[in-house]
């Protein structure tokens, strides 16, 4: 739909009302709606891919003209092998998860016949603004329905045709269910986003998924909490005791499995003692996949003597800016970290300092055979996800078993890391008594028992 500022408020108000009705629906009604959305999208596959092809054609032209980052084109393409199927499977995975609503995690007997209970409940209305990836519409709609949250979705201009096709299918599918149609709304124009960001009386949480500019804009303008991450500047640190073959596999996967993803590694940190033992094999593996290596002076000097002449042509001098860059492409920065004679694993601290200074608090990994080193790394790095001997690409809601995700959060409150159903819930307290009053308790009156009760 195309909204004016006035109609944006109407839409947000309708979403708020729908969120309250959605919160009263049983699990079965929400699951039935997810089945309907899944089946409708599967049946409309050809129409959706045709619409997506139009977006792709325009995006490829814009990328060729230098007006659009090529990484956006990769994210946009729904025809990539398995991508449409993954979108559909994500809906099924969410549908089959345990209902997150009303889950009790605390029961306390304040007194006989006076029981306090803490349980999960929906946040309310989510405003999700995303760029390029059209499958996000289905992902977020399914999470919103399952978690009993209303959602207002705004897609990027690059995915306009895909967005229209998918949103139309979802809207028609919901018309045949008990889930209110206004609980999942789609807006096509960006000019009303600022108006929605000011409607804190209706919108409870903003989740931006896209460029640094988009996230920063939302953080500046929003009158409600913003959950998300601006960058995915991920690191991989190689300690000298790491297994060489494992290091090659993990580094290559972290960089090349999907370079345009926010969980792809952008900087490789290498212990100076691994420059000639592990790094050459890792560099060869990366170069074989087409990766250009932007090296600091020490790593470049070492690799220049270890690699073939053809491989050495893929080495470039790193600049300070390269260690603050999310390349989203087959480009990787390499920096050497050093130990000291008095502390042989001090290089771990140097890696930690670099990550905490230059990273985006998203996902960072360490390759080592030492639990001491791994613990020191994971305890010191300030990131939402920290991995030991595993690819950074595992940072993903589907891979974590969340079904799918609304995004990855680097926030320090509420939800952090891949945000699935649990990240879309908050707590409420319910108290059941039989006529007790607060004045009955305290000095000279009854005393609270505060007895822990089974869940």
Where does the pLDDT of residue 7 fall: very low under 50, low under 70, confident under 90, or very high at 90 and above? confident
Say how far apart CA 447 and CA 438 lie, in whole Å. Answer: 11
**The predicted structure's pLDDT at residue 6:** 57
Say how far apart CA 125 and CA 17 lie, in whole Å. Answer: 9
Closest of 155, 146, 162 to residue 44, by C-alpha = 162
Say how far apart CA 136 and CA 83 lie, in whole Å. Answer: 11
Lowest mean per-residue pLDDT among 157-161, 228-232, 323-327: 228-232
**pLDDT tens track for 76-127:** 899 989 999 999 999 999 999 999 999 999 999 999 999 999 999 999 999 9
Closest of 55, 83, 42 to residue 156, by C-alpha = 55
When comparing pLDDT for 387 and 229, which is higher?
387
User: Is a pLDDT exceeding 70 seen at residue 387?
Assistant: yes
When comparing pLDDT for 202 and 69, which is higher?
202
Do the domains 234-394 and 5-228+411-428 match in fold? no
User: Is a pLDDT exceeding 70 seen at residue 210?
Assistant: yes
For residue 25, count CB atoms less than 10 angstroms from its CB and return exposed for 0-12, middle for 13-18, buried for 19 or more.
Answer: buried
**The predicted structure's pLDDT at residue 2:** 43
Q: Is the C-alpha dihedral spanning 403, 409, 411, 416 positive or negative?
A: positive
Q: What percent of the chain has pLDDT over 70?
A: 99
User: Is a pLDDT exceeding 90 seen at residue 259?
Assistant: yes
Bridge partners of 289, per DSSP, are none
User: Is a pLDDT exceeding 60 seen at residue 271?
Assistant: yes
Rounded to an integer, the average pLDDT of 381-395 is 97
Q: Domain-by-domain residue ranges, the chain?
A: 5-228+411-428, 234-394
User: Is a pLDDT exceeding 50 seen at residue 162?
Assistant: yes
Burial letters 122-152, b for 16+ CB under 10 A, else e: bbbbbbbbbbbbbbbbbbbbbbbbbbbbbbb
**The predicted structure's pLDDT at residue 191:** 78
Say how far apart CA 405 and CA 140 lie, in whole Å. Answer: 7
User: Is a pLDDT exceeding 70 seen at residue 404?
Assistant: yes
* CB-based contact 267:334 (threshold 8 Å): yes
**The predicted structure's pLDDT at residue 130:** 83
Q: Which two tokens stand for residue 235?
A: 């690191």
**The predicted structure's pLDDT at residue 346:** 85
Rounded to an integer, the average pLDDT of 341-358 is 90
**The predicted structure's pLDDT at residue 433:** 97
**The predicted structure's pLDDT at residue 155:** 83
Rounded to an integer, the average pLDDT of 148-174 is 92
Rounded to an integer, the average pLDDT of 356-376 is 96
pTM beyond cutoff 0.75: yes
User: Is a pLDDT exceeding 90 seen at residue 345?
Assistant: no
* CB-based contact 166:141 (threshold 8 Å): no
Other CB atoms within 10 A of residue 57 CB: 11
> In the CATH scheme, what is the homologous superfamily, with its name and number, of domain 5-228+411-428?
Aldehyde Dehydrogenase; Chain A, domain 1 (3.40.605.10)
Where does the pLDDT of residue 20 fall: very low under 50, low under 70, confident under 90, or very high at 90 and above? very high
Q: Which two tokens stand for residue 240?
A: 């000298």
- Ranked by mean pLDDT, which of 128-137, 179-188, 406-415 comes out on top? 179-188
Among left, alpha and beta (phi > 0; psi -120 to 50; other), residue 78 is: alpha
Other CB atoms within 10 A of residue 173 CB: 24
User: Is a pLDDT exceeding 90 seen at residue 354?
Assistant: yes
Query: What is the chain's mean pLDDT, rounded?
Result: 93
- Strand order, beta sheet including 205-209: 184-187, 150-154, 125-130, 205-209
**pLDDT tens track for 285-301:** 999 999 999 999 999 99
CA dist list (Å): 182 to 19, 40, 46, 405, 420: 9, 18, 26, 21, 22
Fold (CATH) for 234-394: Aldehyde Dehydrogenase; Chain A, domain 2 (3.40.309)
User: Is a pLDDT exceeding 80 seen at residue 3?
Assistant: no
Q: Which two tokens stand for residue 379?
A: 């305890």
DSSP three-state, residue 131: coil
Say how far apart CA 300 and CA 292 lie, in whole Å. Answer: 12
**The predicted structure's pLDDT at residue 5:** 56
Lowest mean per-residue pLDDT among 211-220, 281-290, 359-368: 211-220
Chain CA centroid to CA 257, Å: 17
**The predicted structure's pLDDT at residue 1:** 41
Please name the residues in contact with 304: beta carbons below 8 A apart, sequence gap of 6 or more. Answer: 312, 315
* CB-based contact 406:140 (threshold 8 Å): yes
DSSP 287-339: HHTT-EEEE-HHHHHHHHHHS-HHHHTTEEE--GGGGG----SSEEEEEEE--
**The predicted structure's pLDDT at residue 351:** 97
């Amino acid at each position: 739909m195309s909204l004016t500022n006035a109609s944006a408020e109407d839409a947000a108000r309708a979403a708020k009302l729908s969120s309250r009705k959605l919160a009263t629906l049983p699990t079965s009604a929400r699951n039935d709606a997810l089945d309907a959305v899944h089946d409708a999208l599967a049946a409309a596959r050809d129409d959706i891919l045709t619409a997506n092809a139009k977006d792709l054609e325009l995006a490829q032209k814009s990328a060729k003209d230098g007006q659009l980052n090529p990484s956006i084109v990769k994210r946009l393409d729904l025809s990539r092998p398995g991508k449409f199927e993954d979108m559909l499977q994500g809906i099924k995975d969410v549908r089959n998860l345990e209902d997150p609503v009303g889950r009790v995690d605390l029961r306390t007997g304040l007194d006989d016949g006076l029981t306090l209970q803490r349980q999960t409940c929906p946040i309310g209305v989510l405003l999700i603004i995303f760029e390029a990836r059209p499958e996000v519409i289905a992902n977020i709609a399914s999470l919103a329905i399952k978690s009993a949250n209303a959602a207002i979705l705004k897609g990027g201009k690059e995915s306009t045709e895909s967005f229209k096709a998918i949103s139309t299918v979802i809207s028609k599918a919901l018309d045949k269910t008990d889930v209110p149609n206004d609980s999942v709304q789609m807006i096509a124009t960006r000019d009303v986003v600022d108006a929605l960001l000011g409607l804190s009386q209706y919108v409870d949480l903003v989740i931006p998924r896209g460029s640094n500019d988009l996230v920063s804009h939302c953080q500046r303008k929003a009158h409600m909490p913003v959950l998300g991450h601006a960058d995915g500047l991920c690191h991989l640190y190689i300690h000298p005791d790491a297994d060489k073959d494992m290091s090659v596999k993990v580094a290559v996967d972290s960089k090349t499995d999907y370079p345009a993803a926010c969980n792809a590694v952008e900087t490789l940190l290498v212990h100076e003692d691994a420059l000639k033992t592990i790094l050459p094999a890792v560099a060869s593996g990366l170069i074989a996949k087409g990766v250009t290596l932007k090296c600091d002076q020490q790593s470049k000097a070492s690799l220049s003597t270890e690699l073939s002449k053809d491989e050495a042509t893929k080495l470039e001098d790193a600049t300070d800016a390269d260690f603050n860059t999310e390349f989203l492409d087959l480009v990787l920065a390499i920096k050497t970290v050093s130990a000291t004679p008095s502390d042989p694993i001090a290089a771990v601290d140097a890696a930690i300092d670099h990550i905490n200074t230059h990273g985006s608090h998203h996902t960072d990994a360490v390759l080592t055979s030492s639990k001491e080193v791994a613990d020191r790394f994971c305890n010191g790095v300030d990131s939402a996800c920290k991995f030991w001997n595993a690819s950074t690409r595992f940072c993903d809601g589907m891979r974590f078993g969340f079904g799918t995700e609304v995004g990855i959060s680097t926030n320090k409150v509420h939800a952090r890391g891949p945000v699935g159903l649990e990240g879309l819930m908050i707590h409420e307290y319910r108290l059941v008594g039989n006529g007790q009053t607060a004045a009955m308790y305290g000095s000279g009156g009854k005393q609270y028992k505060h007895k822990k009760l089974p869940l």
